[in-house]
Amino acid sequence: MIPINAPQIGEEEIKAVVKVMRSGILTHGLGAGPLVTKFEKAFTKFVKTKHAIAVNTGTAALHLAITGAGIKRGDEVILPSFTFVSTAEVIAMAGAKPVFVDIDPETYNISPRKMEKAITKKTKAVMSVDLYGLSADMQPIREIADKHGLLIIEDSCQAHGASYKEKPPGAFADAACWSFYASKNMTTGEGGMITTDDSEFAEKMRFMRSHGEKEKYKSLMLGHNYHMPEIQAAIGCAQLKKLPKFVARRRENAKRLGEKLKKAENLRLPKEPDGYKHSWYLYTVRLKNGKEKKRDKIVKVLKREGISAEVYYSNPIHLMPYYRKFGKYRLQETENAARQVFSLPVHPGVTEKQVDFIGESVLHAIE
Ligand SMILES: Cc1ncc(COP(=O)(O)O)c(C=O)c1O
């Protein structure tokens, strides 16, 4: 089976993990062990930001950013519904209300125009998501946020190695959150990071990462245990060095697959608009209107051929049982996309020959 994504682990990661095990330093009481600190420094350089705070999942990163920003009961946070559930989850966990906004059908990311319409007196922040590895349209989002005095927390969990207007994810936001889950463009198994240029915000999130402590046993605020273990940081340091090559391979595979699929009449291929660099966490195609009934069958056929085609996301968050209580929404573009999309493997472990096989199998399956 060609998996939809696969961790790219080499000798460097294995050696780095063994070294940590031999060192006897597995973690740090305030979450700032030597390798965690090294990984954070390397990450700040990579995304050209002042601060990076390593945590143990992308969800923890989003939760720290939301609570560190002071989002609380009675507040509203705007976000897309066409994304992974973590984004809405952390808003609800903070006691605030997630307000779902429809997407731009070309990019699958939040529509800035529709976002502005959803702003109320209670809105405190926008959580944009860089879905599938393509940045949200951050410039208009920043302009609207500034006009209304809102914070922007960018969910860049899928966008390592992407850029927008030649800037890395997070450049237009108050904070960006990253995941290093095993499927991501770079991984630590499980892991996360928050990046920001705001020193006060960064310091607060560092305390909150470790029970609200600046010093042990003197909690200054409510916190959590969101420490990243040293083994994870060691893997992260090795993976970050390889990330540019991983993304280059994804880009080559995406280009080759795009060439193959060009002739598929009933398929809409993913776009990389001018000024964007896609990091191709997922290569997501879409069946044209009226053809969506065939989607699940096509995915099944591809799986039978040994290709792990997957649907991200068949059930938008506003339609999930728990999240229905936040309001009745009709998000036409989101719901259409949820019925029509499916993703294909382009990760660095996919060979050219396999890309050709995937392309041919898709052409065959949709006929
Ligand atoms: C868009 C998005 N947000 C948040 C997350 C949560 O990250 P994690 O699984 O590391 O908690 C993920 C990853 O699964 C994601 O893809």
User: Each residue of 326-347: pLDDT tens digit?
Assistant: 999 999 999 999 999 999 999 9
pTM: 0.98
* Cα 266 to averaged position of ligand 1 atoms, centre (Å): 30
CA–CA separation, 212 vs 246, rounded Å?
36
**Ligand 1 pocket: which of 57, 86, 131, 183 to mutate (most atoms within 8 A of CB):** 86
pLDDT(65) > 90:
yes
Residues of the chain with CATH 3.90.1150.10: 244-366
The arrangement of secondary structure in 244-366, i.e. its CATH architecture, is Alpha-Beta Complex (3.90)
Helix count (H) and strand count (E) of the chain? 11, 12
Q: Are 122 and 75 in contact (CB under 8 A)?
A: yes
Sign of the alpha-carbon torsion through 344, 346, 349, 355: positive
What string of DSSP letters covers 188-218?
Answer: -BS-EEEEES-HHHHHHHHHHHBTTBSSTT-
User: Each residue of 86-99: pLDDT tens digit?
Assistant: 999 999 999 999 99
Average pLDDT, the chain: 98
The structure tokens listed for 340 are 């029509």
Taking residues 65-83, report their average pLDDT: 98
- The CATH number assigned to the domain with range 11-239 reads 3.40.640.10
* Cα 58 to averaged position of ligand 1 atoms, centre (Å): 5
For 206, phi and psi rounded to 5 degrees?
-65, -40
pLDDT(133) > 90:
yes
* Cα 84 to averaged position of ligand 1 atoms, centre (Å): 6
What is the edge-to-edge ordering of all strands in the sheet holding 283-287? 267-268, 283-287, 341-344
**Residue 220: alpha-carbon gap to chain centroid:** 30
The structure tokens listed for 344 are 């294909």
pLDDT(128) > 90:
yes
CA–CA separation, 269 vs 287, rounded Å?
9
Contacts of 265 (CB under 8 A, 6+ apart): none
Q: Are 2 and 358 in contact (CB under 8 A)?
A: yes
pLDDT bucket at 43, cuts 50 / 70 / 90: very high
Taking residues 306-317, report their average pLDDT: 98
Which has more pLDDT, 147 or 289?
147
Which residue from 155, 353, 158 is spatially nearest to 260, judged by alpha carbons? 353
Taking residues 7-23, report their average pLDDT: 98
* Cα 353 to averaged position of ligand 1 atoms, centre (Å): 30
Which atom of ligand 1 lies nearest, measured to the CA of 179? 10
Ligand 1, CB within 6 Å, residue ranges: 57-59, 83-84, 86-87, 129, 155, 157-158, 179, 181, 192
**Ligand 1 pocket: which of 129, 181, 280 to mutate (most atoms within 8 A of CB):** 181
pLDDT(252) > 90:
yes
Residues of the chain with CATH 3.40.640.10: 11-239
Look at ligand 1, atom 7, and give the residue with the nearest C-alpha.
Answer: 58
pLDDT(367) > 90:
no
pLDDT(129) > 90:
yes
pLDDT, residue 292, reads 92
